[in-house]
Structure 1
Amino acid sequence: MSAELDLATRLRDVRFRPMTIPDVSLVAAVEQASYQFPWSEGVFRDCVRVGYLCRVVEFRGEVGGYGIMSFGAGEAHILNVCIRKDLRTLGVGRRLMDYLLDRARDEYMQDIFLEVRPSNTVAIRLYESMGFERIGVRKGYYQAVGGREDALVYKLALEPKSAVSPSS
């Protein structure tokens, strides 16, 4: 029971807020610690400047992760999601994904797409558990050691916000 209480307390300390330009260096640090081929600070800055939905996962006053999503033509595209290593496996990533799905519904998006490396089995399990379905492969999409790695393309058809239960 104590472990469950600790987890509930930790999750209660998680907040989502808009990413600002001053956040970019901290967000990029989380990215660099997580990926072998990270986005640059410039890419994050550009995402904020062009008006993508850029959110920081704040945990006890520190950047604990982030999510970036674009909208267009009735579709949302999750461009980047990352949770700091010490906060993984606590449900923070699922909460962030739920948050992003809710924002897409708020914008009346019909579908949401994302790409993921086939080697990222933890993320794949999360996406599939949330109802995302694999719809294709983008050959050579990601930079990888010794060349390129394919991306698996996933899609989720979004139900209108009114059709979603209040608990989600």
Structure 2
Amino acid sequence: MAFWHKQAKRMTSERIIQAAETLAGTPLDQQIKAVKENGFSEGEAHRLVALLPLAFSRPMLEELGIKHFVPVVTAVARDGTPIEAMLMRQPEYAIGLRVARNHRRKSILELDVYNSVAGGSSDTHAVSNALNAGASVVGATIASSLVGPDIAEHLIR
């Protein structure tokens, strides 16, 4: 007897762009549902919503002088257990970062899509607040934490 398993699609630049376009045009509270409706799995949807803004913000923040990014992201599981995961093990982050860097060189995305996704990053908000307060961010380090009850179970460890 043969068992057919739904093969997970490999994360690609094209799929990241598709997800970014979906995220940019969708209210935050509806993003996971919208991404899933566009063919992404539950785990991919959660990781895309949480991690694509981080990935898209990195090149911008580097251009502002941020020098170091902690390679681990933290989250809290439903039971309160702290979780750590390597960002580069998350395909949505790793490929998203590659797409974002490529966009900064070659403008491969619609500008409003890129700006909407990158602008959704808490890191972008933190740096913006620091700059507005007159602080220098040149040489700074950023560590990221993910907030929400569901993301921890979807991180790849």
Q: Same fold (TM over 0.5)?
A: no
Q: Give the TM-score, by structure 1 length.
A: 0.27
**TM-score in terms of structure 2 length:** 0.29
Higher helix share: 2
